Amino acid sequence: EKGGYEHFMLKEINEQPRSIADCMRGRLDAKNGRLVLGGLRDYMNKFQNADRIIITACGTSWHAGLVAEYLFEEFARIPVEVEYASEFRYRNPVISDKDFVIAISQSGETADTLAAIELAKSKGATIFGVCNVVGSSIARATHAGCYTHAGPEIGVASTKAFTAQISVLTMMALMLGYQRGTLTESKYIQLLNELEGIPSKVEKALTMNNNIEKIAAIYKDSRNFLYLGRGYNFPVALEGALKLKEISYIHAEGYPAAEMKHGPIALIDEEMPVVFIATKDTSYEKVVSNIQEVKARKGKIIAVVTEGDIVVRGMADHVLEIPETAEAFVPLLSVIPLQQLSYHIAVMRGCNVDQPRNLAKSVTVE
Ligand code: M6R
């Protein structure tokens, strides 16, 4: 059932070209400029006219929500708040019937997310689910939704569900932007075409770095890791750190790169591996200066870069390349080498990759 792989996690990482394509199948048809999300049809009006989008989730699904915050605000110009379900549900939050709430959950059974939905529903908000498991509690508790169609995810560390969640949220943001007129037709068509090509770029990203195991072997005994990124890659930094800590038990923190000088920079010495996501986008130059700051303090630099980058290559101790794509779609590619790196480090440390200690695949208690 592991399809020849040693672990479900590795199988699921490698399935991503297919799971993303499955997620977009029947929904995205770039050639004809079409994007259809059946689950959204009856609620498009509510979505388009919402005062605010509130996204609620836990863990990796919350990270997908953070990526969506950038997507919705960039393309649709609607303010977004991303909430940990466990905090939201107990805060007596201000919610009205003009709010459009998106709950994201792979399992569809996460207790806090379910409770956050019930609360928002009782205040009159429209609730939209982005779930992987068909017929799950969250899928049933929401007014409408869109399945991610990633297929069963067995490994406790979420991988293919994350990229499928982002794929659905990206399609939602593009549809919304186009409908609201905040995204021009030509830009929309251009983005649809780029999105359709993402599965083959993920395929390439999966095989283009044959140095990952070597990097894993060098840093597997590190006590700490720092992950830094900006813009669309900030949530990816959080996700990279979570992947490492949950399966390898190495302490890791993700930060927006510019926040480094407000505290975490004190941690940097020659023992500290720092993973930068430094792709060629609008924050590239800024990230390059952040890399220089770490280098000046002798930190070890592992950088995820756009294919062909030579500037960061000249500065970093190791680089992991990904294909070039639209800035908004980079998380779908930049997370790939981070998933692979955490997988190999965990395997080399002898950890139970698919079933890490103290963790359950779905957290059905609060
Ligand atoms: O099933 P859900 O997406 O609601 O689960 C949320 C989190 O429990 C989950 O993403 C968790 O953080 C993963 N183990 C991360 O890999």
> pLDDT at residue 1 above 90?
no
Cα–Cα distance for residue pair 6/354, rounded to 1 Å: 10
Query: Residue 237 Cα, ligand 1 centroid: separation in angstroms?
Result: 16
Ligand 1 geometric centre to CA of 70 (Å): 21
pLDDT at 35 > cutoff 90: yes
> Within 6 Å (CB) of ligand 1, which residues are found?
58-61, 105-107, 110, 113, 156-158, 242, 246, 359, 362-363
Q: Locate 234 and state its tokens.
A: 């900030």
pLDDT tens digits, residue range 245-278?
999 999 999 999 999 999 999 999 999 999 999 9
Residue 241 has pLDDT above 90, yes or no: yes
State pTM to two decimals.
0.98
User: Does the pLDDT value for residue 75 go beyond 90?
Assistant: yes
Residue 343 has a pLDDT of 98
Evaluate if residue 164 carries a pLDDT over 90: yes
Give per-residue pLDDT as tens, 166-175: 999 999 999 9
Averaged pLDDT, 296-301: 97
The pLDDT of residue 338: 98
> Is the predicted pLDDT of residue 284 greater than 90, yes or no?
yes
E strand segments, the chain: 28-29, 34-35, 52-57, 80-84, 99-105, 126-131, 144-147, 224-229, 251-256, 273-278, 300-306, 318-322
**Taking 90 as the threshold, does the pLDDT of residue 62 lie above it?**
yes
How far away, in angstroms, is 146 Cα from ligand 1 center?
18
Strand partners, 347: none
**pLDDT band at residue 93, thresholds of 50, 70 and 90?**
very high
ipTM above 0.85, yes or no: yes
Nearest CA to ligand 1 atom 7: 59
According to the model, what pLDDT value does residue 77 have?
Answer: 97
**What proportion of the chain, given as a percentage, has pLDDT over 90?**
99
pLDDT digits 0-9 by tens, 315-349: 999 999 999 999 999 999 999 999 999 999 999 99
Going by pLDDT thresholds of 50, 70 and 90, the confidence category of residue 194 is very high
361 is catalytic: yes
Instruction: Report, in angstroms and rounded to the nearest whole number, the Rg of the chain calculated over CA atoms.
Output: 20
Please pick, among 2, 121, 187, 361, the residue that the annotation labels catalytic.
Answer: 361
101 has a pLDDT exceeding 90: yes
Question: How far is it, in rounded angstroms, from Cα 146 to Cα 126?
Answer: 14
Q: What is the mean pLDDT of residues 86-92?
A: 96
Provide the pairing of β-strand 34-35 with 28-29. Answer: antiparallel
Chain-wide mean pLDDT for the chain?
Answer: 97
